[in-house]
Amino acid sequence: MSLEKIVDIAKRRGIIFPSSEIYGGLAGFFDFGPVGLRIKKKVEESWREFFIKSVDNIYEVQTSLVMPEAVWEASGHTKDFIDPLVSCKKCNSVYRADDLIQEITGKSVEALKPEELFKMLKKENVVCPKCKYFAWSDIKIFHLMLKTQVGPTEGNIAYLRPETAQGIFVNFKNILNSTRAKLPFGIAQIGTSYRNEISPRHFIMRLREFNQMEIEMFFDPNEKDFDFEKFAKTKLKIVKRDGKVVEITAEEAVKKEIIPTKWQAYFMAKEAEWYQKIGIPKEKIHFRHMKLEETPHYSMGNFDLEIEFDFGWKEVVGNAYRTDFDLGTHAKHAKTDMSFVADDGKKFIPHVVEPSFGIDRTIYAILLHSFRDGKDRGWEFFSFPKEIAPFAAAVYPLVSKDKLPEKAKVVFEMLKKEFAVFYDESGSIGKRYARADEIGTPFAITIDYDTLKDDSVTVRSRDTKKQVRVKIKKLAEFLKEN
């Protein structure tokens, strides 16, 4: 499916709209419509169930979007959270220099300095994609955080957070003291982050305002006991630093030192399983071991979960082994003790692994991989897994007369208590099936003349178009089981 088509369908079906569209929009900002918001909430709830509620040692928090400058000085963001910017002196277009060179030449330019990038522009004769001239400015450093001023007095600088993670780290002591958690334990957060990206693009792929789901899992690096639960044998496809691809179980990847810690392998295995559960085919998922030059100095290894999109493979989850860097740097800058005291009195700063999920990219992947051309029925539809479908079922009276709407409303009211259902009596039944399919509703329930006699209804499956009769009193059970 082309990008234009995704954007068009997302808008027409109430999934995602360009933000402030009637005023021409604002690049890098999008709004969720009534259907899209349901999908977003379902994705978050599915993630919460799978990663947080299924274990009893991960605590979820919600921290401020705006945080003082001191936080970002300590984390290194004010200094290092930068991208190289180049502008065309002929037509004034601006680009992220590394992306521009990479896209045009196909060559990797990770971690190159501005002067080196400029040399490469010359060497590869990269011209401006818009005006086709070679008239580049010097490459400048562009800071990605959105700055704001808090309160009426000048000088009180703060930033919109570029990741939810720092809200977790600065609260480490508060959470530890209030929960009295023992290692290993995790802190999770779902929320919005902001990055003033030079060139937002590809619909909701690179945004200036986006949503993350992050877990910081703290552990004692000397603790050897580890329970992989049922994920030890989960197969991971890993693109190694040398470009070779291995398919290996999570357990084996640790044994062979491809992944540096069991915690990271555990989360990667869970991620691979979760993305399949929400509709991404197994062959469209792999992990890429980030090259040394791309990896932050404090990290003992970063693995990106990448999904294949219409334009190629792209990171959707970042997995970083951040060691004790974040707690250590906040301890130093805030002059606060960030250590953990074990039962045997040992005092140390825990290590942390971080799986960081992008919600918007996840939704893009779902839309792309659940889309069906519907040649068998004459309309396109989304085959969302029930886990993330915006509605569980649609309820229809066959016709709008003869007491069928009244009966259908009784069924609707009954199901509404337990499921996200909608009622629709306008247009032909075929048109109503099309509308339900188009927003990925797994089942359509029709109340017809037989219903009045035997209290059963017709349930049509979105994917197979097959219809079965189900007793009204068994409908809830049917929707749960299918």
Sort strands 209-219 and 140-143 into parallel, antiparallel or unpaired: unpaired
> Residue 88 Cβ, how far from ligand GAP at the closest point, in Å?
23
Residues contacting 252, CB < 8 A, separation 6+: none
Residue 159, Cβ density class (10 Å: 0-12 exposed, 13-18 middle, ≥19 buried): buried
d(CA 297, CA 294): 9
Residue choice 360, 424, 438, 448 for contact with ligand GAP (CB under 6 A): 360
Output 355 or 442, the one with its CB closest to ligand GAP: 355
Of positions 83, 98, 197, 326, contacts ligand GAP by CB under 6 A: 197
Q: Which stretch binds ligand GAP (CB under 6 A): 45-53, 70-78, 204-212, 270-278?
A: 204-212
Q: Which of 83, 315, 326, 437 binds ligand GAP (CB under 6 A)?
A: 315
Stretch that binds ligand GAP, among 56-64, 153-161, 350-358, 392-400 (CB under 6 A): 350-358
The vertex-56 CA angle with 50 and 61, nearest 5°, equals: 80
Question: Could you say which of 13, 96, 195, 369 contacts ligand GAP (CB under 6 A)?
Answer: 195
Q: How far is the CB of 197 from ligand GAP (least distance, A)?
A: 5
Q: Is 317 in the site for ligand GAP (CB under 6 A)?
A: yes
Q: What does the block give as tokens for 181?
A: 């958690």
- Whichever of 289 and 432 has its CB closer to ligand GAP, that residue is 289
The residue with its CB nearest to ligand GAP is 358
Which one among 214, 306, 326, 437 touches ligand GAP, defined by CB under 6 A? 214
Residue 316 or 447 with smaller CB distance to ligand GAP: 316
Q: For residue 238, what are the β-bridge partners?
A: 246, 287
Q: How many residues bind ligand GAP (CB under 6 A)?
A: 18
- Of 76-84, 208-216, 280-288, 428-436, the window that binds ligand GAP (rule: CB under 6 A) is 208-216
Q: Which region, judged by CB under 6 A, interacts with ligand GAP, from 316-324, 327-335, 409-417, 444-452?
A: 316-324
Q: Which is nearer to ligand GAP, 360 or 438 (CB)?
A: 360
The angle that helices 34-47 and 359-370 make with each other, rounded to 10 degrees, is 110
The smaller minimum CB distance to ligand GAP, of residues 210 and 219, is found at 210
356: contact with ligand GAP by CB under 6 A: yes
For the record, the structure tokens of 15 come out as 């999934």
316 in contact with ligand GAP (CB under 6 A): yes
C-alpha–C-alpha distance, residues 259 and 300, integer Å: 9
For the CB of residue 214, give the shortest distance to ligand GAP in the complex, in Å: 6
In the window 152-181, what residues touch ligand GAP (CB under 6 A)? 163, 165
Task: Determine if 285 is a binding residue for ligand GAP (CB under 6 A).
Answer: no
> CB–CB of 305/316 below 8 Å?
yes
Q: How far is CA 165 from each of CA 43, 138, 372, 400, rounded to the nearest angstrom?
A: 19, 33, 36, 53
Burial class (CB in 10 A: 0-12, 13-18, 19+), 328: middle
- Report whether the peptide linkage leading into residue 152 is cis, meaning its omega lies within 30 degrees of zero: no
Q: Which amino acid is at 350?
A: P
Residues 6+ apart with CB under 8 A from 456: 450, 469, 470, 471, 472
Q: Which one of the spans 62-70, 76-84, 271-279, 312-320 is the region binding ligand GAP (CB under 6 A)?
A: 312-320
Does 326 help bind ligand GAP (rule: CB under 6 A)? no
Quote the CA–CA distance of 285 and 327 in Å, as a whole number: 32
The SS3 call for residue 38 is helix
The yes or no reply on residue 275 touching ligand GAP (CB under 6 A) is no
Q: Contacting ligand GAP (CB under 6 A), which of 167, 350, 355, 358?
A: 358
Peptide bond into 184 cis (omega under 30): yes
- Smallest gap from Cβ 211 to ligand GAP, in A, equals 8
What is residue 116's three-state secondary structure? helix
* DSSP summary character for residue 88: B
Q: Is the CB of 87 or the CB of 211 nearer to ligand GAP? A: 211
What is the smallest separation between the CB atom of 126 and ligand GAP, expressed in angstroms?
Answer: 23
Give the dihedral of Cα atoms 435, 438, 192, 313; nearest 10 deg: -170
161 vs 407, beta carbon nearer ligand GAP: 161
Whose Cβ is closer to ligand GAP: residue 356's or residue 446's?
Answer: 356
- Three-class SS of residue 82? strand
**Closest CB to ligand GAP among residues 206, 286:** 206
Distance between CA atoms of 338 and 171, rounded to whole angstroms? 10
* Options 186, 279, 318, 390; binder of ligand GAP; rule CB under 6 A: 318
Q: How far apart are CA 464 and CA 383, in angstroms?
A: 10
Nearest to 97 by CA among 79, 73, 114, 78: 114
Query: Can residue 231 be called a binding residue for ligand GAP (CB under 6 A)?
Result: no
- Of 207, 395, 398, 457, the residue at the interface with ligand GAP (CB under 6 A) is 207
Which residues here bind ligand GAP, judged by CB under 6 A? 163, 165, 195, 197, 206-207, 210, 212, 214, 315-318, 354, 356, 358, 360-361
